[in-house]
Each structure stands twice: as C-alpha cells, then as structure tokens.
C-alpha cells in the first residue's frame, strides 16, 4: 500500500474518468469500486470511489458532487520518452472537450490539468550554456503542445 494517495473529486464521472485514464498508460488498472450505501450521501448503489493505478501510481476518484472543481493549482505531470508519446497523450487528453494550454499544459474533459512533458525539455532548459537554455525557455513559452524538434532547433540557432 502506498503511503500517500492523490484523491480526485468528480461530480458523478469518477468511474468514467478512471477508466479513461487507465486506457492511456501501460501498467494501469481500476483496482476497486466502492458504492454508496443506504446512509448516503450519494444515491444507494451509485459509485462513491474508484481506486485506480496509472503507471503503477495509485489514485482515488471520488464522486463528491458539484461543490468543488479542479484548477491549474494541481496537475498531473507526465514524463514522455518521445515526441510520439507527447502527441498521442495530447490528442487523447484534449479530445471530447479537453482544452490545450500553454507550455505543455492541458485540461482534460473532466477539468483535470496535465503537463505533457517530453524528457528532452528539462535537459534543454538545464543546458550549461545560459544562452542555449534561454533559447529553449523562450521557445517553450511560445508553445502549447511541446515540439522537441522545434526546441532543439531554437537551442541550436546562433
């Protein structure tokens, strides 16, 4: 059992969201679904929580109602090994009502914010040459979905 688990508050879409998220990543699964009993506060038999794993990391989705909404103050950051992985996740997470944002951030159809980060990005931002690192930062700040080739081209520009 992991010591700390992220809890995500949904307004009736906890199971749908968990199944969607687990379809995106290897080593992911729905672990358990708990339902409200007669004591409520949800309708008896309706989904209360869904425990699920994404790439081995455990989360719990709660159908808590309309009182609270996600903001960009919390996001899930995904380390992507390739541009293809960035592109695939970006497309899947923005489909069906998701919204692209700046600098590799997006909001999915459930309102949860994600950072889709190619592994190469932090390497370029940490370049020991401050001028190359500055060019990487400037290029990233102009992007929505991160484009590794465009970042590398910007860093290489003299």
The first and second tokens of residue 7, run together, are 């809890």
Each of the 158 residues of the chain gets a pLDDT tens digit; together they read 789 999 999 999 999 999 999 999 999 999 999 999 999 899 999 999 999 999 999 999 999 999 999 999 999 999 999 999 999 999 999 999 999 999 999 999 999 999 999 999 999 999 999 999 999 999 999 999 999 999 999 999 96
Beta-strand ranges (E) seen in 72-128 are: 75-80, 99-100, 105-107, 113-118
For the domain covering 1-68, report its CATH number. Answer: 3.30.720.100
Residues with Cβ within 8 Å of 18's Cβ and at least 6 positions away in sequence, in order, are 30, 50, 52, 59, 61
Q: Quick one: 70-158 is in which CATH superfamily? A: 2,3-Dihydroxybiphenyl 1,2-Dioxygenase, domain 1 (3.10.180.10)
Domain ranges of the chain: 1-68, 70-158
- Cα gap 71→83, rounded to integer Å: 26
């Amino acid at each position: 059992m992991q010591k700390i688990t992220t809890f995500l508050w949904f307004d009736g879409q906890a199971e749908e969201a968990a199944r969607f998220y687990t379809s995106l990543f290897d080593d992911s699964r729905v672990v358990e679904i708990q339902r409200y009993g007669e004591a409520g506060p949800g309708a008896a038999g309706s989904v209360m929580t869904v425990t699920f794993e994404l790439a081995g990391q455990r989360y719990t989705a709660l159908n808590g109602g309309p009182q609270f909404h996600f903001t960009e103050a919390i996001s899930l950051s995904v380390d992507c090994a390739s541009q293809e992985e960035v592109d695939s996740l970006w497309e899947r997470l923005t489909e069906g009502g998701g919204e692209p944002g700046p600098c590799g951030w997006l909001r999915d159809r459930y309102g949860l914010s994600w950072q889709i980060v190619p592994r190469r990005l932090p390497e370029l931002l940490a370049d020991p040459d401050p001028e190359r690192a500055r060019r990487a930062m400037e290029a990233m700040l102009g992007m929505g979905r991160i484009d590794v080739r465009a970042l590398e081209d910007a860093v290489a520009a003299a």
